[in-house]
Structures are given as structure tokens and as C-alpha cells.
Chain A
């Protein structure tokens, strides 16, 4: 029997994108996995404070298909170049999936993917399940900043300046034509056809509130000696989320960085995250600086103000009262004022905490969270937003 050759057919090929549906389903699952792993992903330092259009590679542990497999510590067999000696290093642990020692085809394989997505997409996925449209509307409606008048239709009564002359004259002409030719008079001089009250037409004006769409995020961070790299990093993750969130909701978003130890100053983003200061902590100084800036530049009637403070809570005791008072004032001017206490695991035993102090603060838009490790950042943020949603709804 002779061999059959079936030639290439373009039509077949076009029709036969048969894996399309399965690929789509796979991507859906991947996206879901991405969402579930978001806490890990946003905890990666590299994406914080980056450009939104930037494409980032997110290593995710794919959508795995599980089977019974042997553990990774079991070693394997490989081919050498002829000079292999016992004790020689032939690879790095944890890269097994890439050049998997072991016969190809029977290797269970490690399902690590790198998915490329833009930061924007990531943020979108992140906020997709926060479901906050109500919050947005409510917050925006609160700010009726400018009032402008706008024409909308006509009316028969009004003040002189709103008189629409064209319509008034038209109305008179219409009436005149309807009345027919004027009766002849002896004198030959026709009676002038005058304006009557019903001819007068005025413009109707309505006042329209313009919705403000400005927001400012005040990032306040404790940069005292007790804030080590890890603590700052956790704080940074939180600020990143807050900023991205606010930015996704408002047209014009500004960022203010306030670093404080015993005194506070406004700094650039770079300084904020990279400069280490030393010394003690007066939390009230940071709050006062924030209030100052708000008063100077961001009037609460024009701006949505989000303030967030990260600290390890290691405040001078004498300052607690002042801090509390300043926090209360911040709550009055802010849409949301949050406090994140950053205590890497195990450190709360010996440090003092502001969480206790803030319990005395009675404001709907205040929220305090505790962050102990990287994985807490996202849940803490969600919690914060959930609280916000409650008060907004």
C-alpha cells in the first residue's frame, strides 16, 4: 500500500483552531489563580512604585494538575561531559522544571509559569473584587465644589436680563400673522402691533454642581530608628495599594510623602522609602504636618483626602495624647484615615502599640490594621476597604 500525503489546506487550518476554547478556559483559570495569589505578587518589591504601563513578569504557580509524584529531594540521573567528578555541582536546587534531570516525557514537570501582564492589568484584577462603585459615587457627591449656571429651556416669567429677544419677537410675529391683515382705518395710519405680556420669553437657567475629581494620598511613615528594612517594605506595599486604588478612582491624584521621627517633613518618594533616619518617635508630629499640608494646599471641599500612616507603634508615651487629638482632627478632614501598625511576627511582646491607644478614637472613617508579614498586606487592605464600604453604603 502506498503512503498517503495530504496537502496543506489553508481552510482547514483556519477552521482548526480547535484548542481555542480550552485555551480560553485555561486563561480564565490562570486569571483566577493570579487573583488568589495576589498577596504574594504585590508583596514582590519590584512592582511597587513602578510605572503603570510597565509590563511585569509575574511568576505564578500556574494552574497545577496534581498527581502523586515523588518529592524533590530524591535526586536523579544525568549525562555528563566525560569529566564528571563526585561532589561536583551540576545545578541549582529549585530549578528542576527547567532542565529537568530525568527522562523527558516521564518527568512530572513543575508547573511554574511566568505570565506577562501590565501593572495596570494587575491593578484591575486586584480591585475587581473589591466592588466599590458605591463608595466612589458617594464620596464624589459629597464634594459640590463649583456651581455653574446652565441654560435649559425657556419660561414665561423671569427677570429682565434673562429675556430672550429673538423668541419674544418671533412670538409677536406669529401672533400678528394669525391676526390677519389689520382692519383699514380712515386715517390710513395702522395701529402699531405691540408686544404683549404673553410674547415675553425668558431663558430658564439651572444651577449645576460640578463634581470634583481630585484626590490626594498622604503617606505618612515613621522613619525612626526602630523602623527597619522589613517594616518599611511592608509599609511601602501598603502605600502602593492605597495609591493604586485611589488612582483608579479619581482623575487627578496627587501623592504627598511625609516622613517623621520626632519631627516631620515632606519628602520625595525616593527619600521616603530609602532614607533611614534614627531617633525616637513622635507620631503627633507627622499628623500635624499632614494637617498643615491639607490646610495649605488641599482644601477638603475640593479634594478627596486619603491619609495613611504606617508605624511600628513605638511612640513616646508622652506623645500619645497629642497624637490621638491630631488623629481625630485628621479624621474630620479626610475621606479615610488609616493606621497600619507594622509588627513583624513575634515583636509585639516587647514593643508598645498604638493600636490600643487608637481604640479611644471614635470616627467612622478611621481604621487601624495590624500587619505582621508580607501576606497580611493584601487582606489588611481589603479589610480597610470593606470598612470604608460599610460606612459608604
Chain B
């Protein structure tokens, strides 16, 4: 051990918990497990889950994380905490005493966030997290061991399912409509509006909605849609789709709140350690470590940094450190926002200027600054930032028609927001869609400003401009 004992950690934890209670953080019961580097990397590859189904991509994640750490990464070294009740976190055996104290305080910040932020409370059940991952792992292993299915078939199917895992409904707090409600809504929309000028002009012919169309409205849960509408799928295949979708559902809140969540934990570890009266040498190490964690990434965005700065600014603007108003504001925001809303509401022009946020564009071989956060540019910069945080980096794909022109062709539409798809990835991903769907697949999108149709069919991939 690196100069600390378990008893010492427990004493520090007790003091930290006193502060947690004093500041009003609302946490699940907490559990810490001490592990060595290998186990840590192993946990990290499987998102911290003690049980997880096997797939080669996690082996790859392991190698990547290892490489990353071998080359030295910023952020808190080996910080891993799971959204579960009780909240589970790992402490790396070889970390120094100060790093353990810092990590413990940081973890309580996450713990509070998991328990209170709406993206987590609406989409995940923290009580069942570990058990759910365990049963999913057991199911996948059973299919792999089943001689009539086999590991290879399971792997190939998971490869395809993983490709679409994040193409699902983003705001999970919004309830899905039942089929009957969907029908009602479609009919409602088709009904002609009351027209005050009816006597003056010809009434437009009402268009009868096609109620046999599948889906009635654009459908965003790709995996679930395929599971429910591809009748050729075997039960184990449908179950794999369910499993992959459930995992994505679990992880989506973390993607949606990365900046808020890391910022929140950093904000609280900073506040808690600042109030612990650390001995001088620990205090010095604390300052060094904290600055490493929240240092800006030149040319990129460090979520720890951005989040920390914005939370501090909220506290300053709404009453100042220690005031009840500021505290109430902080807690309200951590409950009701996700990254997009958080930044839209609280990233002010002054703050952007202070952070020197800018947009860049590739020009020839170089990446060149296009706008900076000045009078003219800040709105553009902010808009671009908002488009990229959370699930903004995932293109929105909707199922439009499951029986396009009566040929069982799946017709997808990319909801283009000014950013083109990467065609290479789209080609490979469409091939995965085709594996899952079993028939031809179209994807409507725009390329360089013109509508285009990408197709994956028996003759391979084809991309053509529609105009």
C-alpha cells in the first residue's frame, strides 16, 4: 500500500461524510472496493460492472484504456464509480493517501448526482443495476454455450446490435406513446384546422392518413423497432437486441450529463477538501491534483474543467459561496438539467470569453480557428458547442417506413442538422442494419447540401444524390 491503511481511509471517509451531510448532498449508501491496477483496468473496460457479458470490444477497451494510462491522461487517475444503489466505487491500491481522499470526496459528488438528476432517475433503476447486468451477462453466456447458437453467431449479432445501440430515444423522461395513442395523434393531426377564412377560398382537401403504415410516426428506437418488426428473428436474437438496448438506456444519462456530472463532482471534492483542514503537505498535493483534474485541454473541451467553472459561476451569480440561495439554485439545477440545457442556461458570454472558447474548422491540412467568443462570434460558438455536447455527437436516425414500396425495405432518415454523416462509417453501419433487418435498407440524408440516398442491399452499398 502507498503509505495509508484502511483504518485511515475510514477515518477520512467519516470526516468527508460529515461535510457531505453539512453541505446537504443527498447520497445513496456508499461502498468502496480497493483493487490493484489490473483489476481496475478490467473494471474500466466493463464500465465498472462486476458482471458483464463478454464481447471482444471490451478487450479492445481494456487495451485502449491501458495505452491511455501508459501515456498519462488528465483527469482523476483511476476514478470509477457506478450508478447503483448502494453506490459502488473503486479505489486504486497504488494511489497516494491524498488521491484516495480526493477520489472519495469526488465519488460522493457523483453519488448525489446519480440519485437526484432527472436523466438518471427517469431512465435507470439504481437498486437493480448490478443484478440487471448480471442477468444480462448470464443470458448472453447461455446463448454462447448453446450448441445450436454458438459464440460466433452471438458475437456477429452483437457486433451489429452494438452499432445501433445509441440510435435510440434520447430523452427517456418522455413517455412512449402506446400504439392506440399514436393512432389518435395521427388522426388528430390529419383533421383540418378551423379556418376563419373558409368562405374566402377553397378548402384544402383533407389528406387521409395512412393508418396501416409502420411506423405511424418516425421511430427512434432502432433496435427495439427491429426487434418488434422483423419476424424472422429468433428468440435469442430478439433477446440480444433487448439486452443491448437496455445497456444503452443505462449509459445514455452519463453521456447526456458528462460535463455537469464531472463538474459537479469536481466542485464538491474541491469544496469538501478545502474545508477539511488538511495538513500542509496533503493540502499542497491537493492543489496540484485538483489543478490537473480541472485544467483546460487546449484546443478541446475537458468536461471536468468546463463543468467545474460553470458550477462555480452559478454559485457566484446566485448568491455567492455559502449562501442558502446559491445552494438552492445549485441543487435545483443538478436535478433538472442535462448538459445541453445546463450550458444553454448558464454558460454566459463573459464566461465564454474568460474560457476563450472558439470554433475550429479544417482548412487544408490545418485546423483553423473560425470564430472566437467575442461580440460577433460568441453566439455561433455557443450554438456549435450545444450541438456537440451530450448526445449531440450522435446523429439522429429515424425509422420512416418498414415496408418501403411494399418490398420489406427499411427506410431510415437522418435528421440532418447541418452536419454531414461520415460516409465510410455509414456504409459499414448500414451493413449492420441490414444484418439485423434481413432485407434492403435505405438511409435518406444530405451530402454537401444535397439530398442523398444511401442503400445497403444484396448488391452491396450504394450512395446516390437525389437531385
Contact = CB atoms under 8 A, between A and B. Distances in A.
A28 B339 CA distance: 39
Interface string A100-115: 1111111110000000
A149 interface: no
A62 B384 contact: no
Interface stretch (B192-200, B282-290, B317-325, B391-399): B391-399
B31 A71 contact: no
B335 to A, nearest CB: 21
A186 interface: no
Interface residues on B, range: 35 or more
Interface in A86-103: 86-94, 99-103
Contact of B59 (A24, A93, A106): A24
Interface in B32-90: 32-36, 38-39, 41-42, 45-46, 54-60, 62-63, 75, 86
B422 A71 contact: yes
B457 interface: no
Nearest to A3: B30
A84 B372 contact: yes
B365 A93 contact: yes
B62 A22 contact: yes
B421 A69 contact: yes
B13 interface: yes
B317 to A, nearest CB: 21
Given A72-B422, A103-B259, A91 B369 contact: no
Interface centre among B42, B45, B259 (most CB of A within 10 A): B42
Interface stretch (B113-121, B176-184, B301-309): B301-309
B370 A4 contact: no
Contacts of A3: 10, 13, 17, 29-32
A1 B45 CA distance: 30
Given A5-B9, A19-B59, A68 B421 contact: yes
B36 A8 contact: yes
B465 to A, nearest CB: 16
A93 B425 contact: no
Nearest to A70: B419
A21 interface: yes
A343 to B, nearest CB: 29
A83 interface: yes
A77 B385 contact: yes
Interface residues on A, range: 35 or more
Interface string A53-69: 00000000011111111
Interface stretch (B204-212, B273-281, B355-363, B400-408): B355-363
B430 to A, nearest CB: 9
B420 interface: yes
Given A66-B428, A106-B391, A108-B393, A8 B356 contact: no
A25 B54 CA distance: 10
A85 B370 CA distance: 8
Contacts of B163: 65-67
B220 to A, nearest CB: 12
A338 B415 CA distance: 56
A349 interface: no
Contacts of B9: 5
Interface centre among A74, A76, A101, A105 (most CB of B within 10 A): A76
A67 B159 CA distance: 10
Given A75-B359, A85-B372, A23 B35 contact: no
A90 B299 contact: yes
A74 B162 contact: no
Contacts of B34: 5-8
A18 interface: yes
A110 to B, nearest CB: 10
Given A63-B56, A66-B163, A101 B360 contact: yes
B356 A82 contact: yes
A91 B10 contact: no
Contacts of A91: 299, 360, 366-367
Given A78-B358, A86-B371, A103 B303 contact: yes
Nearest to B395: A68
B297 to A, nearest CB: 6
A70 B422 contact: yes
A35 B374 CA distance: 51
Contacts of B423: 71
Interface in A1-49: 1, 3-8, 12-13, 16-19, 21-29
A73 B56 contact: no
Given A22-B55, A79-B357, A74 B38 contact: no
B134 to A, nearest CB: 13
B393 A70 contact: yes
A74 B13 contact: no
B302 A79 contact: yes
Contacts of A66: 163, 425, 428-429, 432
Contacts of A18: 42, 46
B419 A105 contact: no
B414 interface: yes
A71 B166 CA distance: 17
B300 A78 contact: yes
B394 to A, nearest CB: 7
Contacts of B359: 75-78
B190 to A, nearest CB: 31
Contacts of A16: 39, 42
A79 B62 contact: no
Contact of A105 (B33, B255, B394): B255
A80 interface: yes
B229 interface: no
Given A4-B32, A80-B357, A74 B420 contact: yes
Given A70-B395, A77-B384, A79-B298, A64 B428 contact: yes
B333 interface: no
B464 interface: no
A362 interface: no
Contacts of A104: 75, 258, 297, 300-303
Contacts of B410: none
Contacts of A131: none
Interface centre among A17, A22, A24 (most CB of B within 10 A): A22
B215 interface: no
A64 B431 CA distance: 14
A270 to B, nearest CB: 33
B384 A22 contact: no
Nearest to B364: A93
A23 B62 contact: yes
A36 B345 CA distance: 50
Contacts of A88: 368-369
- Interchain residue pairs A-B with the least CB separation, the first 4: A22-B59, A26-B59, A80-B356, A23-B59
12 contacts: A3-B17, A3-B32, A5-B6, A12-B35, A70-B395, A77-B388, A79-B299, A81-B356, A84-B356, A85-B369, A101-B360, A105-B254
Given A17-B42, A80-B355, 11 more contacts: A3-B10, A17-B38, A69-B393, A70-B421, A77-B359, A77-B381, A77-B388, A79-B296, A79-B301, A81-B298, A90-B367
